[in-house]
Amino acid sequence: SPYEAPNHPDIRLDTTHQTPAEAARKVIDWLFGEPS
């Protein structure tokens, strides 16, 4: 079946306006409870 985006994701990454490093930092900060 096709991919269905979650209605309420825990984290959202807009990779059109972030570098891969910025996106990775956002994920790491989220995992460790740091504000973004």
**pLDDT per residue as tens digits for the range 1-36:** 999 999 999 999 999 999 999 999 999 999 999 765
- Residue 30 pLDDT: 93
Q: Is there a contact between 27 and 13 (Cβ–Cβ < 8 Å)? A: yes
Polymer length in residues for the chain: 36
Q: How many CA atoms lie within 13 A of 11 on its CB side?
A: 16
pTM over 0.75: no
What are the phi and psi torsion angles at 7 (to 5°)? -70, -35
pLDDT at residue 22 in the model: 96
Region of residue 17 (left: phi > 0; alpha: psi -120 to 50; beta: else): alpha
Backbone conformation region of residue 33, classed left if phi is above 0, alpha if psi is from -120 to 50, else beta: left
